[in-house]
Each structure stands twice: as C-alpha cells, then as structure tokens.
C-alpha cells in the first residue's frame, strides 16, 4: 500500500509540471470558465470492483440551476456513461450487492425519492413514495432492505409506538396538503433551534425508515416520536449503517432536551425486524459516521470528547460489539480525522486527516498502534474505497489549482489513473496556478502558514495588487482544495496576488492551535494575519500600497474587526460577517457556538463580548467596505450586515450593501454567484486600479 503514496504524488507532480510549461498559451481563469466545469463527487465502487458510479453537477447559468446526473465509468478506464435522464436531478448512487443495479435519489417523480435502475440506466423504477421526499438511503448487505430518512408528522403514529411501526402515508399526506393550503402562516415555538441554517422548522420531524427493496409494503418508522433522528451532522458523514448480516441498523441521534446548545449526538442500534433501540455510545461530545467492520465485530465512528464544542478534535474510535469496549485510535495524532474505510480483512482502517492544508491517507490497525502513511502529497484525497482484495483503491482528488477528479491506484505501485475527464478541455484553455506556501512568525513566535496564488503570466519584475482572503470558522482552513464560493484562481485571474492565511484557530495544525481562537477572536488570530500581511507587503512582486482584504462568516467578522483596528488596506469586502456579538448571540440558531466561543452568553460574560465586538470600534472605521449578505442566513442573520452598513453610511465611509433575498450563509445560485463575483471584483478594482489587462496589472520596479 505504501507504493500508492508515490503513485498519487507522482501523478499530481506530473500534472503540475505539465500545466506550468503551457501557462503562456492560456487565458486567465475567470468566473465564466469556472461555470463550465463539471463538479464531480461521491464516487462509489461496485462490489465486484469493476465499475465506479459518481455524480456530475453542471451549471445552467441562463436557467439558474445546477442539475446533477449520475454516471458510471469502468475501473479499468474508458468512457463514462450517463445513467440518469436529462431534465432530472439525481444524487447518492449506491450499488446493490450484485453490482447489477443502483439505488439513487432522483427528483423525477414526487419530490426526491429512491429509484432503482440498471447499471446502464435502463429499467428505472421508483422505490419510495414519501410525500415529503427522502434522503440518506443505504442498502443492506443482503440487498433485501433499504434504510433512508424522511420528514414525517409524529402525531400520525401512536404516542407509544415502538420502532418498526408502519408509516401512515394517508395521515402524513393529508397534513402536508393542509399545511400548504392554509392561509394562516404564523409560526409558534416553545423551544429553541426553531430555525436552522436557512429554513424555519415545522411540526415535521426527520425519522429513519426501513423498507423492503422489492416489496410493496409501506416503510417502517424506526425512530417514531417527537425526536428528529438523525440530527444535522456536524461533520457530514453518513448517519446510517447496516450490520454485515443485515439484522441491525445503526443511526445517529441527539437526545438532549435542548438541541440548540448541545453537540451530544450518540450512536443507537435497532433490530431491522423491529424492537427497542439500544444506545451504543455515551460520550458527552459528538459521535457520528458509524461504519461496521466487514466481519461484524467492530463499529468505527468519529468522536469528539468535549461537549458543546463543534470544533473539538475529531478522533477515530472503534467499538468492540462483543465486549462493549471502545478504543480511541488517534488520540496521539493531534489531527482531525476526516473520513475512513475498513480493510476487507477487518484488521485495519484507512483514514484521512487534515494536515497543514492537505489530507493524506493513513492506516492504523484495529487494535491501535503506529500510524502508517499510505498516500501523501499536496492534494486533498477523499471518498477512499478498496476492491475486495484491497489491491485497487478508488478515490477523489483535488487541489487548490484543480477541481476534483476520480482516480484509481494499485497497491503494487505505478502511476494513478484518472478515470474522469469531463474538465480537460476547459482546464487546457486557462491558466491555473499552483498554490505556494509561505510561513511567517505570528503572535508569540508561533509559525503561521499561508498559501499564495500568483496571477496568470506572472512576472517577478512587476508589482501586483494583493488580496488577503480570510477563511471562516473560525475553526476552518485554506488548503489544497477546490472552492466554487471563494475561488482563488478566479481572484488571481483578475490580476491579484491572492494570500490565503491560516492564523490561530485554523485546523490542521494541532488542536491547541485551533483552540487558541476561543474567547480571543480579535486577538492572536488578528496578530497572525497582520504578521502575514507584513511579510506579503515586503514581497518584491507585491505593491504594498494596493492591498485589499476580504472574508466571509468568521472571515467577515475579521474584516469588520480590521475596520476598527487598521487602515492599511485600500478596500474591504465582508460577507455574512459577525458585526455585533451581543445581537449575534441572541439571533443565531446554534447556541452552543456562542456559549463555547465566549464562555457563555452576553449576560454571563459582558466584558468579553464587549472586548471582541467590532461594533464597539465604529469610531475608528475608515476603509471603503462592500457588505454582502444572504437574507435567509440564520447562522449570521442579515441584521449583522445591515447594522454594519448603517454604521459605515453614518460615518460617511464609502460603502455598498448587497443583499440576496434567496440565499443563506452561502451564495449558491448560479446567477447570484455571478453577480457576487462581479460585484466583489468591481469593488476591489476601484481601489487597486490595475493599469494593464487582468493578469498583468503593473507598477514597474
């Protein structure tokens, strides 16, 4: 397996070298170019090891849609074949055990439902028919059962119903229709977390269902009652898993009474035939992503040890199902575990971690011990799967200069083979410059990494404007991954040297580095950023008099903090940024976040809130600022951006507010994204005044 490391890295290096040799013949990368890219995701290796199914999302800019289709491609290499029809959107391809059919989610009928299709896309059949649609489908190893999640009206089942009660479609459909037809739109709540991300909650709750794949029987509700299970996932891993003998279903649930202040999700198991659910974990932090070993003896999952802290270190744990003993395998690694997969002999677990901006693939024995590196390079590896003999690895790979592609590698060595080629023509026409890493001494002498993306046709004898972009979180990072919301290649293509700093609070540098931002939002992280700005301003190709900065979420907070603490930037862009900590704590939805980051609520810790709130430094604001915000953003509600814009206008500071009525925390709709990029680049361009074509903005030495 160690040979995979060289093959993956070698293939990437060859790609980078090839691209660098042809830069001069290519155009700068633009938003329009980015919209031409196919967004490849969710590779699924068939049980016989011969075929990979995956999703391809394309952008219909005139139609303002992002349809997703499912394709298959041979593991041996060859042409990809579309499985789902035009005019529909489909996700989550999952193979039946015989590798002949796929179960997938498609909106071609009554909302998003599970459909069954042949591997070539023929003989499509609807499998589910929940009025509100379904999600998260998985297939039992024997191919007889399907588990999935869906929203239901809990009162349609008896109050004392036990797991396995039959779903009452008639009652649920009647209530759904009545809700849609009602002229009364008032919402009434008696508990918190009444809205989340970009939507208000209704009286429906998410439940886990079981259904026969080839039967007309109604689905059975395995989590009846008023509780939503599974809850929204902090980490995004699958919340459901079948035991290898198909007799048990494991799911994630949070049973704490106050969901708004709790991150305490646990694992539960319920017999597929029906019966009482059993709690498997009692850890006070989050547990998620259950994955059974092939021999059925163990259950692997991700876990956090600290309650109420969504950015605690994610560890890989293994539960011995015969003894009930749990072993945490990665405590000493001091890196966040991102994803994992069992070897087919059930003796080893392959997993990825976030490490200084990349995600290497590692290996550890089920009993613990030394961690071995399988594949490591300046890339992000995900969705790792192995053939039944563990000799073939399928994975998705991306970098800061290349969108995701699906690849294959052999344990015996040799170059990795790229299986998907949807984007080759587009990428061959544009310059995408590799990320370069710089390291500076931040606050207290701590080493702080940043990535630098240079403009196309870069000339070291030219001075360029610099754009410092600040990531969200604050427990997040910039790294070797492709982004469509803050694409560094588009920003560099507009003529900027793009600086991507990872200050205190960033992940991938050890948990103490991450924790250092807690209760210190504008402290060491700000100092780290300014040390990076000092370094960048002294680079021979950076014009220190034309530096600008932008950020979103916590990055937006930091832009708002910068407004009151330095005037070294010519212009700023803040998207979905926290401006007033007091009102943010009272209007955001995930209250555990504010409680952890600031040691309680404003009435518990008023001095800390006052110290770090940008709203208390308005009299020092000077810099022209663009404010953008989604009106459906319930993580950082729209009032934060509006309050900031009011302050800027009252202070007579050049400023602009752009609101998106149909967006939440992120700007996702194609035409909104197009307008956002154009507005941001236009705003920054007013204050950096490039004097030449994009990619060659020049002030000679």
Hey, which residues are catalytic here? 553, 633, 665
Q: Which sign does the torsion angle of CA 576, 581, 584, 588 carry?
A: positive
Please state, in angstroms and rounded to a whole number, the distance separating the CA atoms of residues 455 and 69. 34
Who contacts 208 (Cβ-Cβ below 8 Å, separation ≥6)?
Answer: 147, 148, 149, 221, 222, 223, 229, 230, 240, 249, 251
> In this structure, are residues 260 and 590 in contact, taking their beta carbons and an 8 Å threshold?
yes
Give Cα 339 to chain centroid, integer Å: 12
> In this structure, are residues 354 and 479 in contact, taking their beta carbons and an 8 Å threshold?
yes
* Backbone phi, psi, residue 510, to 5°: 100, 150
Neighbour tally for 265: CB within 10 Å: 28
Give 104's strand partners: 115
> In this structure, are residues 362 and 381 in contact, taking their beta carbons and an 8 Å threshold?
no
Helical (H) or strand (E) element with 349: strand 348-353
User: Which candidate, 584, 600, 580, places its Cα nearest to that of 592?
Assistant: 600
Sheet holding 248-253, edge to edge: 240-242, 248-253, 266-271, 278-279
Q: What is the dihedral of CA 24, 30, 33, 39, to 10 degrees?
A: 110
> In this structure, are residues 116 and 64 in contact, taking their beta carbons and an 8 Å threshold?
no
Q: Which long-range contacts (CB under 8 A, 24 or more apart) does 358-362 make?
A: 358/479, 358/480, 359/479, 361/4, 361/395
Cβ-in-10-Å burial (0-12, 13-18, 19+) of 422 comes to: middle
Q: What is the CA radius of gyration of the chain?
A: 25
The two tokens of residue 146 are: 């399907």
User: Which candidate, 587, 617, 589, places its Cα nearest to that of 602?
Assistant: 587
Give 657's strand partners: 627
* Backbone phi, psi, residue 59, to 5°: -110, 120
> How do beta strands 248-253 and 266-271 pair?
antiparallel
Helical (H) or strand (E) element with 587: helix 581-587
Q: Where are the beta strands (DSSP E) in 46-167?
A: 51-57, 68-74, 81-82, 90-95, 101-109, 111-118, 125-126, 134-139, 145-152, 165-166
């Amino acid at each position: 397996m160690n040979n995979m490391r060289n093959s993956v890295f070698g293939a990437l290096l060859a790609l980078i070298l090839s691209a660098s040799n042809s830069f001069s013949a290519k155009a700068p990368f633009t938003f329009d170019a980015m919209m031409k890219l196919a967004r490849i995701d969710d590779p699924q290796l068939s049980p016989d090891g011969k075929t990979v199914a995956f999703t391809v999302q394309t952008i219909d800019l005139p139609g303002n849609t992002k349809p997703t289709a499912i394709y298959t491609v041979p593991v041996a290499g060859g042409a990809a074949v579309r499985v789902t029809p035009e005019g529909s959107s489909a996700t989550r391809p999952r193979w039946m055990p015989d590798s002949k059919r796929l179960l997938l989610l498609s909106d071609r009928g009554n909302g998003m439902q599970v459909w069954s299709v042949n591997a070539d896309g023929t003989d499509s059949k609807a499998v589910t028919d929940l009025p509100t649609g379904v999600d998260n489908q998985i297939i039992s190893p024997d191919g007889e059962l399907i588990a999935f999640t869906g929203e239901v009206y809990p009162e349609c089942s008896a109050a004392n119903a036990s797991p396995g009660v039959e779903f009452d479609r008639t009652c649920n459909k009647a209530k759904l229709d009545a809700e849609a037809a009602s002229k009364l739109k008032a919402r009434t709540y008696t508990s918190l977390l009444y809205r989340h991300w970009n939507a208000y909650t209704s009286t429906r709750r998410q439940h886990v269902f079981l259904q026969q794949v080839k039967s007309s029987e109604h689905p059975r509700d395995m989590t009846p009652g008023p509780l939503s299970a599974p809850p929204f996932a902090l980490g995004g891993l699958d919340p459901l898993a079948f035991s290898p003998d198909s007799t048990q279903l494991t799911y994630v649930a949070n049973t704490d009474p106050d969901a708004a202040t709790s991150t305490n999700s646990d694992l539960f198991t319920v017999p597929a035939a029906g019966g009482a659910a059993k709690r498997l974990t009692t850890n006070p932090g989050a547990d998620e992503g259950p994955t059974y070993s092939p021999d059925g003896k163990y259950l692997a999952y991700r876990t956090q040890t600290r309650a109420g802290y969504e950015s605690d270190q994610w560890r890989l744990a293994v539960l011995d199902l015969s003894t009930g003993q749990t072993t945490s395998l990665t405590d000493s690694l001091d890196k966040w575990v991102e994803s994992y997969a069992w070897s087919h002999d059930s003796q080893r677990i392959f997993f990825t971690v976030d490490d200084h901006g990349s995600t290497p693939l590692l290996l550890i024995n089920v009993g613990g011990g030394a961690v071995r590196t399988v594949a490591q390079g300046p890339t992000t590896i995900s969705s790792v799967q192995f053939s039944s003999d563990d000799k073939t690895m399928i994975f998705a790979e991306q970098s800061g200069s290349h969108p995701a592609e699906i690849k294959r590698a052999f344990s015996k060595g040799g170059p990795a083979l790229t299986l998907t080629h949807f984007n080759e023509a587009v990428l061959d026409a544009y310059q995408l410059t590799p990320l370069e890493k710089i390291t500076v001494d931040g606050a207290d002498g701590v080493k702080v990494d940043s990535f630098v993306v240079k403009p196309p046709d870069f000339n070291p004898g030219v001075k360029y404007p610099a754009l410092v972009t600040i990531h969200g979180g604050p427990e997040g990072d910039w790294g070797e991954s492709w982004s469509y919301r803050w694409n560094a290649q588009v920003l560099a293509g507009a003529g900027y040297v793009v600086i991507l700093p990872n200050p205190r609070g960033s992940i991938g540098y050890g948990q103490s580095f991450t924790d250092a931002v807690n209760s210190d939002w504008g402290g060491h992280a700000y100092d780290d950023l300014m040390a990076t700005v000092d370094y960048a301003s002294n680079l021979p190709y950076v014009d220190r008099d034309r530096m600008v900065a932008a950020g979103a979420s916590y990055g937006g907070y930091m832009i708002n903090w910068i407004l009151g603490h330095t005037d070294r930037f010519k212009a700023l862009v803040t998207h979905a940024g926290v401006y007033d900590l007091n009102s943010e704590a009272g209007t955001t939805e995930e209250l555990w976040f504010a409680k952890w980051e600031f040691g309680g609520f404003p009435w518990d810790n008023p001095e800390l809130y006052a110290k770090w709130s940008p709203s208390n430094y308005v009299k020092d604001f000077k810099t022209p600022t663009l404010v953008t915000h989604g009106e459906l953003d319930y993580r950082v509600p729209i009032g934060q951006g509006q309050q900031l814009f009011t302050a800027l206008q009252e202070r007579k500071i050049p400023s602009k507010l752009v609101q998106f009525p149909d967006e939440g925390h992120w700007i996702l709709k194609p035409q909104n994204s197009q307008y956002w990029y154009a507005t941001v680049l236009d705003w920054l361009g007013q204050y950096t005044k490039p004097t030449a074509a994009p990619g060659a903005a020049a002030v000679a030495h």
